[in-house]
Structure 1
Amino acid sequence: MGGVKEINDGTRGRVPSTISDGTRGRAPSTSEGVWGNYPVIMHLDMDAFFAAIEQSIQPSLKGKPVIVGGDPDSRGVVSTCSYEARNYGIHSAMPMKEAHRLCPDAVFVNTTGDKYSYMSAQVVIIMKRFSPAVEPVSIDEAFCDITAIHKRYGGPEKTAQAIKQAIKEELNLTCSIGIGPNRSVAKIASGSNKPDGLVIVPHDSVKQFLWVRPVDHIWGVGKKSAEALGKVGIKTIGDLAKTPEKTLKAMFGIMGLGLVRMANGEGETDVRASHVEYEAKSMGHEHTFDKDTNDRERVLGLLLYLADRVSRRLRQTGCVGRTVTLKVRKSNFKLITRAITLSANIDTEKEIFRAARKLLIDNRFLDEPIRLIGVNISHLKKSESERLDDFLIDYDPTKKRRELDKVMDGLRDKHGEEAIFFASSQIF
C-alpha cells in the first residue's frame, strides 16, 4: 500500500521495488531517457471515494468501517465502503442486509450525490492545474495526458506526487495513480497498489508488468469472461497475450482481438479533455436516527446541526440559495418532502434553520416518530462579495452572523468539521 512502485525490465540491473520517499538509487532517466517520445498517460483513481469523503467530513469516522448506500435494513446495495469495511469482506453491490450481517458495528451512511459530485469536480480542477488534458471517466477516476508537461515538474513521478499532495492537502482525500504509455496500462497500474499508491510503468517494462497478473485485471474482462478464459487455460494476462487471435475471436468476436492487443500492452493514448465544470443545483445533508423519535428537542437539535452543515458548504463554494426543502422519512419508511421559497437569498445556518423549523412545525411532522431527516437548499447562485444592505444600515445581525461563521470556518478548516458546533445541535 502507498509508496511509489516503478516497474523495470531488469536490463539495468534492478528489480521492481516499492519506494516510499522516491530517493533510493534510481536513475533520473525515467523522465526523459526511458520515456523518450512515448506518450505519458496518467490514470487517477480516488480511494474508496464516497466513504473517504464521509470520513473527511466527520473525523470521528476515521478508522471505522463505513458503508455508503443507505439503511442496513433496506433493500438497497452497497455503493462503496471504506477499507476498514472491506476487511470484513464487504464490497460494492453487496446487499445492505448482507453487509450488516458481516459487520453489524459498521457506520451506515446514505448517499449524497451533490456532495460527491462537488468533490469530484474539485479533483478535476486540481488535475487541470498541471495539465489541460484531463478526461473524467467516472465520478471517482480520470485520465490525464502529462506527455508535454511532466518535465516541467521533474518527471512523471514528481508530477504525480504533486497532484496527490494537492488532493490530500486541499480535500483531505487520497488517490492512487498509475502511469503508463497508454490508457489501458495506466488504468491497470493505478489499481495495482491501492490505496494511496503510485505505480509507474515505462514503455519498455509493460509486458513484465502485465503478464504476471490475473486475466481479469484487463480492462473489460469481468467475472464471467475470466471464467470462460480459465476453462481454456488462460489465467494470466501473459496467457492471453500468447493466445492466437482466431481463438479469442471465436470466443468473444471482434472484442477478442482487442483483448489480445491490450494483453500485449497496446492501447489508446488519446485523452479527450473535458471542459464541463460542475455547478451544484442544490446542497443538502441528512441523518438517520439510531432509533425513531419525535422528541422535539432532539429533532430540533439535529435540524440546527444539518442547517449548519449546509451553511458551511454554501460558504465553501461561495453560493447562496432561496429554496429550503425539508426531507422526512417516517417509521413506516414513507418519505415526505416540503419546501419553502424565500424572498431573498440566504446562506447562514440561522436562516436555513428558521425555514426548516417552520416546515417541520407547520406540517406537524413531530406528531409521529421520525426515522430520517434532511435539509436541502436549492435555486443556488454565486454570492456577491458585497451586499447593498451593508451600505444602507449600520447594524445588520445577519452580517454579524456571517462574521461568526468565518471564525467557525477557520477553526474547522484547521481542526476538523466537529471542532466547534452549536451546543443545542449536540442533543441528538
Structure 2
Amino acid sequence: MRKIIHIDMDCFFAAVEMRDNPALREVPLAIGGAADRRGVISTCNYVARRFGVRSAMPSALARKLCPPLVLIPGRMAVYKETSRQLRAIFLRYTEQVEPLSLDEAYLDVTQSPRCGGSATLMAAEIRAAISAELGLTASAGVAPNKFLAKLASEQRKPDGLFVIRPQEVDEFVRQLPLGKLPGIGRKTAERLESLGLYSCEDARQLGNEELIARFGKLGEMLAGRIWGHDDQPVQARRVRKSIGVETTLASDVLDEDACWQVLSRLIPELEQRFAKACSAEMLMGQGIKLKFADFHQTTVYRKGSYQAARFHDLLHEGLQRAQGKPIRLLGLVVGLPGEGEINQLSLDFC
C-alpha cells in the first residue's frame, strides 16, 4: 500500500506578502492585475475571501465586492525562491516529489524511513518545518493514492492535516459528491445529476459498465475513482507538454482583423519561448485560445507541423464558435514533443 502526501500552501502569494509585511495581515489583500487594466485576481487572503473575492475573478469585480481591497501586482521572483525553499523541505523526506505548481506538490513517502515510516507524522513534521523556517502555513492530506491525498488536503483548509487510512477509503469515497472528483466540471456534473447521479454511491449503483457505455473515457475514470482507485505514480520529473502566451485586451474586440493584429504581436514572443525548448520542426501542434467577455473560453488546436500563418485559420474557426460574443483575451499555444521524441531526434542528428 502506497503512502502519498499532498501539500497545498494556504493562499501562497498573499501569505508571502503578509509574512514580509505584517501590516497586510488584517486587511483584505489580493495579488493580481490592476482593475483599470482589466486585470484578474491570482490569489487573495482569507480576509478578502470573506467579501466574496476569489482567484480568477476580474480585479474590477473584486474591487466592487471589497472596496477596501489592497491589490498588489506580486513579486514572482520572491515566490519562486520561497517555492525552492519549500521543495528543499520536501526532499528531506523523499526524492519522489511531484510539483504541481509553485505552492503545491505530491510526495510519495512509501519507502521513506523518516518518522518510523509514518506518513501522518511526516506530514505533521513538514507542516511544522514550513511554519518554523518559512513563516507560512500549509494544508496536508495523507492517503494511499494521489487522488485521495489531494481530496484529503482540502478537508482541513487552511492550516490543517487530514488523513484517509486504507480502511477508511471506501466510506470516505462512498458519500463524496461527484462534482468533487477531478475532471468533473460544472456541465459534466449537471449531466450526471440529470441521470440522478449525485454521489459516488449513486454512480456505484449504476455500475461500471453503464458508466463507461454512457461517458466513454470519462466513464472509465469514474469507474475507478468512485471506488477510491488511482494508480497514477508520483512523477518526480514531469515533462512539459506545451508552451503558450496570452494577453488580456484593453477593451473587448469583435472583428477578426483586430484579433489578428493582437495575435501577430504574440507570435514572435511565442516563437522566442519555444525556441528555448526545441526547434519549430519538432512541435506537435498549435492552437489559439479565446476568452469571452462572459469569461467562458474556447481553444482551437490542431496537430501537425508548425506554421505561423495557420493561426489565422484557427482564429477564424474560434470566432465562429464565439457567435458574436466579445473577446477579452487572446492566446497562442504550441504542443511540445514528448521526452522520447526529443531524445530520438537528437540521436538522429548525432
* TM-score in same-fold range (> 0.5): yes
Report deviation, 1:194. Answer: 0.4
Match of 1:240 among 200, 203, 226: 203
Tell me which residue corresponds to 1:229.
Answer: 192
Q: Is 1:195 the equivalent of 2:136?
A: no
User: Is the CA contact (8 Å cut-off) linking 2:174 and 2:226 kept in structure 1?
Assistant: yes
Tell me which residue corresponds to 2:41.
Answer: 78
TM-score for both structures, normalised by structure 2: 0.65
Matches of 1:127 and 1:107, distance apart in 2: 32
Matches of 2:53 and 2:193, distance apart in 1: 25
User: Is the CA contact (8 Å cut-off) linking 1:218 and 1:237 kept in structure 2?
Assistant: no
User: Is the CA contact (8 Å cut-off) linking 1:188 and 1:219 kept in structure 2?
Assistant: no
In the TM superposition, 1:253-332 aligns within 5 A as 253-274=216-237
Tell me which residue corresponds to 2:96.
Answer: 133
Cα-to-partner distance string for 1:162-184 (whole Å, 9 max, x where unaligned):
10011111111111111111111
Tell me which residue corresponds to 1:46.
Answer: 9
Larger Rg: 1
Tell me which residue corresponds to 1:57.
Answer: 20
The one-letter code of the counterpart of 1:103 is: C
Tell me which residue corresponds to 2:53.
Answer: 90
User: Is the CA contact (8 Å cut-off) linking 1:150 and 1:156 kept in structure 2?
Assistant: no
Q: Is 1:164 the equivalent of 2:127?
A: yes
Q: Is 1:121 the equivalent of 2:121?
A: no
Cα-to-partner distance string for 1:225-270 (whole Å, 9 max, x where unaligned):
2122111111123223333234333443212111120111100252
Tell me which residue corresponds to 1:216.
Answer: 179
Tell me which residue corresponds to 2:108.
Answer: 145
* Counterpart secondary structure, 2:224: helix
Report deviation, 1:215. Answer: 1.4
Structure 1 residues 249 and 269: CA distance shift in structure 2, 3 A:
closer
Structure 1 residues 258 and 154: CA distance shift in structure 2, 3 A:
closer
Report deviation, 1:70. Answer: 2.1
Q: Flag structure 2 segments of 5+ consecutive residues without an equivalent.
A: 240-350
* Counterpart secondary structure, 2:206: coil
Matches of 1:51 and 1:248, distance apart in 2: 41
User: Is the CA contact (8 Å cut-off) linking 2:6 and 2:105 kept in structure 1?
Assistant: yes
Residue range with higher mean Cα deviation, 71-80 or 243-252: 243-252
User: Is the CA contact (8 Å cut-off) linking 1:180 and 1:189 kept in structure 2?
Assistant: yes
The one-letter code of the counterpart of 1:64 is: V
Report deviation, 1:191. Answer: 1.1
Count of paired positions: 239
The one-letter code of the counterpart of 1:172 is: G
Matches of 1:173 and 1:151, distance apart in 2: 23
Structure 1 residues 250 and 113: CA distance shift in structure 2, 3 A:
farther
Structure 1 residues 111 and 238: CA distance shift in structure 2, 3 A:
farther
Report deviation, 1:129. Answer: 0.9
User: Is the CA contact (8 Å cut-off) linking 1:241 and 1:261 kept in structure 2?
Assistant: no
Q: Is 1:207 the equivalent of 2:167?
A: no
Cα-to-partner distance string for 1:19-46 (whole Å, 9 max, x where unaligned):
xxxxxxxxxxxxxxxxxxx111111111
* Counterpart secondary structure, 2:196: coil
Q: Flag structure 1 segments of 5+ consecutive residues without an equivalent.
A: 1-37, 277-428
Matches of 1:268 and 1:67, distance apart in 2: 37
The one-letter code of the counterpart of 2:10 is: D
Report deviation, 1:186. Answer: 0.5
Say what the alpha-carbon RMSD is for the aligned residues: 1.9
User: Is the CA contact (8 Å cut-off) linking 1:181 and 1:269 kept in structure 2?
Assistant: no
Matches of 1:134 and 1:60, distance apart in 2: 34
Q: Is 1:68 the equivalent of 2:31?
A: yes
Q: Is 1:173 the equivalent of 2:136?
A: yes
Structure 1 residues 84 and 99: CA distance shift in structure 2, 3 A:
same
User: Is the CA contact (8 Å cut-off) linking 1:243 and 1:260 kept in structure 2?
Assistant: no
Cα-to-partner distance string for 1:343-362 (whole Å, 9 max, x where unaligned):
xxxxxxxxxxxxxxxxxxxx
Report deviation, 1:154. Answer: 6.3
